[in-house]
Structure 1
Amino acid sequence: MTLFQSSPVRRVLCLPGSLRRHSWNRRLLHAAVAQAPAGLQLELCDALAAVPLFDEDLESHDPAGPPGVQALRAAAAAADGLIIATPEYNQAIPGVLKNALDWLSRESPAGEVLAGKPVAVLGASSGPWGTRLAQASLRQVLHTCGALVMPAPSLFVARAAERFDAQGWLTDTATLQSLQSFLLAFDSWMERLTAPAMDATSALIG
């Protein structure tokens, strides 16, 4: 008898780098959730507002960190991968996003959740460049933290006001197609990274 195993569904935590309720990057991630391929289960995370400024005094008081940090760390640790959508503030990533990554990069009872974690980076901006510099800055931070950042494709959504409708939904056909390709590529990236472990497990079973 042949046993057929369905492909596992990968859980992906989507992290907007802006606190603004109707930010372009939060809207871009909402579109990603709606466009997710069958193999991905995307979940939007709105935990950054509860994360205090990084302070080693807080860390020394409780190695697990304050409650907001614990919640973010648990959500990131439980996910198979992360998608981070960053705005661009003064040619770099927002302080609130950098602060969250600083917390996630620290050793804790839950371990280093960014080390070895598959991550994809994208971004949207009302300007003509689509967060190119911010994404480069974010990639550098993530590489330093040991994350496994998808090298390509890139997605820079420029002139975001022209891409979304009045209700905040992504309606630009070319951008939707690029987003779908981006998500499929990330699914393949995570599969590629987990393939060696799966092959080793199959060898042991066989």
Structure 2
Amino acid sequence: MTRSKTGNMKSMLPMNPALNILAVSGSLRKGSSTTLLLQALQHLAPENLQLEIWENLDTLPHFNPDLDREGEMNVQAVQDWREKVQKADGVLICTPEYAAGLPGSFKNALDWLVGSGDMADKPVAAVAASPYPTSAEHAHTSLMLTLGMLEARVPAENQLKIGLLSKKLNAQAEITDPELNTELQRVLSALQQTILQAQPV
């Protein structure tokens, strides 16, 4: 009888709500390995982490503060981007390296968040990946500098640099390297903890 009551009490406990993660690829290229990596992360994520891949990077205009008039953004694509960031519990970024830095289109997207403050104190996981052994070191450094200016919350546990990605990820968005699989799960867990710590008690 006691065992039955205990079971009923457990079943009545509220479930932890799912956390909404906005997943952003830094590449516009069709078949991009960083976009494939986000798709792989969707499969790796636990049930209470819902990853939504944002695919409208190419809709944003060139950054121009004049388009923000008296604090009111009048470009729909920018409004949509900012609202996605605002509503997300956390942001997961996967970026390649181009010309020893971030791809211009992705840096442009981040620039649109400077004046709005939507990334301030936002829990973020930052992944930089490269098909070369260099592990996208320059892109990672550039990304962290920008996220620092945006005042995003990106502890060391939420960061990962990946080299030789093409040998660890196949065209079906499957991680073929056990060590990388473990590291990605670690980053997801760290992002989840950062979100929970940021939430009011």
Q: How far apart are the structure 1 equivalents of 2:150 and 2:142?
A: 13
TM-score, with length taken from structure 2: 0.88
Change (3 A) 1:65 1:175: farther
Three-state SS of the structure 1 residue aligned to 2:73 is: coil
Q: How far apart are the structure 1 equivalents of 2:86 and 2:158?
A: 25
* Contact 1:39/1:187, CA 8 A, preserved across alignment: no
Q: For residue 164 of structure 1, what is the aligned residue in structure 2?
A: 169
Shift of 1:11: 0.4
Q: How far apart are the structure 1 equivalents of 2:142 and 2:84?
A: 23
Shift of 1:63: 2.1
Matched, 1:86 2:91: no
Three-state SS of the structure 1 residue aligned to 2:174 is: coil
TM-score, with length taken from structure 1: 0.86
Shift of 1:156: 1.8
Percent identity between matched residues is 33
Shift of 1:51: 0.4
Q: For residue 23 of structure 2, what is the aligned residue in structure 1?
A: 14
Q: How far apart are the structure 1 equivalents of 2:72 and 2:197?
A: 33
* Contact 2:126/2:158, CA 8 A, preserved across alignment: no
Q: For residue 140 of structure 2, what is the aligned residue in structure 1?
A: 135
Q: How far apart are the structure 2 equivalents of 1:88 and 1:57?
A: 29
Which stretch of the first structure deviates more once superposed, 124-133 or 22-31? 124-133
Change (3 A) 1:56 1:155: closer
Shift of 1:61: 8.6
Three-state SS of the structure 2 residue aligned to 1:104 is: coil
Unaligned runs of 5+ residues in structure 2 are none
Q: For residue 178 of structure 2, what is the aligned residue in structure 1?
A: 173
1:97 to 92, 101, 106: 106
Q: How far apart are the structure 1 equivalents of 2:172 and 2:51?
A: 21
Q: For residue 39 of structure 1, what is the aligned residue in structure 2?
A: 48
Letter in 2 for 1:73: R
Shift of 1:99: 0.7
Matched, 1:64 2:69: no
Q: Say what the alpha-carbon RMSD is for the aligned residues.
A: 1.9
* Count, aligned residues: 192
Shift of 1:77: 1.0
Unaligned runs of 5+ residues in structure 1 are 199-206
Shift of 1:5: 2.3
Shift of 1:28: 0.8
Three-state SS of the structure 1 residue aligned to 2:13 is: coil
Q: How far apart are the structure 2 equivalents of 1:83 and 1:20?
A: 18
